[in-house]
Structure 1
Amino acid sequence: MTDDALAAVTAWWATAITRIQPGEIAFRGRPVQDLIGTTGFVDTIWLLVTGGDLEPARRRLLEATLVASVDHGPQAPSIASARMAATCGVGINSAMANGINVLGDTHGGAGQQCVALLGRMVREHREHGRDWDDLAADEIGRYRARGAFVPGFGHRFHPVDPRRNPLLSLVEQAAASGDVEGDHLRAGLAIERALASRGVPMNIDGISATVYGELGVEPELARGLFVLARSVGILAHAWEESSSGRRIKGPLPPPLLADYTGPDVPER
């Protein structure tokens, strides 16, 4: 093989993330043996994904957001899907994949969409100095014009999402101390004010989007971090269900059956 051909082969999966050699593993240039026991999991996530380090206040924000996102109970489709899969004889990895693959634009995508929304407001404010409340009114108007929900606000189950206040408090503290700029926070609160008359407060997706925006996380990567966090709950529920001894557990407990809405069946 020529040198050029060899170089083309080794460049095929070129990466700036992990260096692997016999007897060597390094993440972003840092030997794994130097990270083990000295670097927390959240810092390692950030290092691998972004190549950077987290200051203490920013680490606290990311860790709190990941903790807040780990689970929402067996009624969540991603969790229910994993639990059903676990009763069908698949391994834990397949049950987890089943749950993770349910996380799409509708169930699991609002955080990404909200990061994009807040980002648009922040850019418009910085470039043109527009008022936050005017920006919020414009954004809400666009969603209403197409009959869509404003992502990150309101919750089908919680009148007030119990994860909102503690995370909001942490972001406010970080903004007050200068650890984050605070513009995504201002944008999120402006949307919340505009929706207050409808009783639609910020939910976990909205406050998470605020954190991710303040940390400089791109919208799609924010969804990836949410999926990473929710994988913990998916694992826990799949493992619990796999230990129940129940086989082929469907969406309805027996002997209940789903309502039939098709044409009448002829009597025999």
Structure 2
Amino acid sequence: MQHPANGQSPQYPTSLGTSDADTITLLGHDLAGELMGRVGFGELALWLVTQRRPEPGEVRVFEAVLVALADHGFTPTALAARLTYLSAPDSVQGALAAGLLGGGSRFLGVTEDCGAFLHEALTAHEGRLPGDTDDAGWDRLALETVRAARAERRLVPGLGHPVHKIRDPRTPVLLAIAEENGHKGPHLRLFEAVGRVHPQVLGRTLPLNGAGVCGAALADLGLPIGLLRGFALLARTAGLLGHLAEEQRSPLGMDVYLSVDRNARYVAPPGD
């Protein structure tokens, strides 16, 4: 907010959108005349956050991330949306919100956690990072990073998956898309190296999961680390809408509720 002077009204500046009686302006362009039908939604979302029009390679990587995170079946977030819709079919917004509010450290939050973990390691070695083709250098940095996390009893975000025990199919595809479009940067290179060296520290081999590689890819696009979870939620909104549409066509929320209710087993509280 700009404070008023000489009795003038306060001002609230924004570089996003505004409108008057005849036009809507978004990002400095006429919405109806210059953007609608010419700019894709993924491009626009990236543009809104960065305040600059992204180039096609950035859009391709960004949209690949959105597709990778859109839906994973009957996850807790999807069930939350469906059961909320069962309780309040008059509130689609409530059902969507319920699903999005479940995006945390176990589901969807890994995208941000992994991006932040990698960014912290890279920042600590700023000015001393290996070259793009120096795999041995990236391996050394990854080994140091994983060892430090282990010493601090921290999990390494982006390692392991409850379903994909050997390889997450999204990971090599997103790495390839980033490479093809010139956006395989330090976060992705360090993440790849973590995948190569972590068995030396952890004593077992875990796959690099899709949520983690998405976080690394978003960070390499220069997006704010504190907003990475927001992009995961943006992607999952589409998936939740799909679940709600399916719930309208072929409801199963009541079956889920009744299955739990009819199979509930009362256990006396401790001490009774």
Using structure 1 for the length normalisation, give the TM-score.
Answer: 0.85
Pairing of 1:111-260 with structure 2 (within 5 A): 111-129=111-129, 131-159=137-165, 160-174=167-181, 179-180=182-183, 182-196=185-199, 198-245=204-251, 248=254, 250-251=256-257, 253=259, 256-260=262-266
Shift of 1:180: 2.6
Q: Distance in 2 between matches of 1:264 and 1:184?
A: 49
| 2:40 aligned partner | 40
CA contact 1:100–1:227 (8 Å) conserved in 2:
yes
Q: How far 1:249 moved relative to its partner?
A: 5.2
- Deviation of residue 255 (structure 1)? 6.2
Distance 1:113 1:264 in 2: 37
- Listed one character per residue, the Cα deviations across residues 116-156 of structure 1 (whole Å, up to 9, x for unaligned) are 12112333443234742232223223432344431112101
Going from structure 1 to structure 2, the CA distance change for 1:107 and 1:251 (only over 3 Å counts) comes to: farther
How big is the shift at 1:7?
A: 2.5
State the Cα RMSD in Å.
2.5
CA contact (8 A) 2:247 2:253 kept: no
Equivalenced residue count is 257
**What CA deviation, in whole Å up to 9, does each residue of 1:183-214 have, x standing for no partner?**
22211111111224622121112210221121
Q: Aligned partners of 1:254, 1:261: CA distance in 2, in Å?
A: 15
Which structure 1 segments of 5+ residues have no match? none
TM (norm. structure 2) is 0.84
Give the superposition deviation at 1:67. Answer: 0.7
When structure 1 is superposed on structure 2, of 160-169 and 245-254 the one drifting more is 245-254
Name the CA distance, whole Å, in 1 between partners of 2:78 and 2:85: 11
The residue number in structure 2 matching 1:31 is 30
Deviation at 1:166, TM superposition (A): 1.1
CA separation of 1:172 and 1:248: change in aligned 2, threshold 3 A: same
Structure 1: which amino acid aligns with 2:118? Answer: L
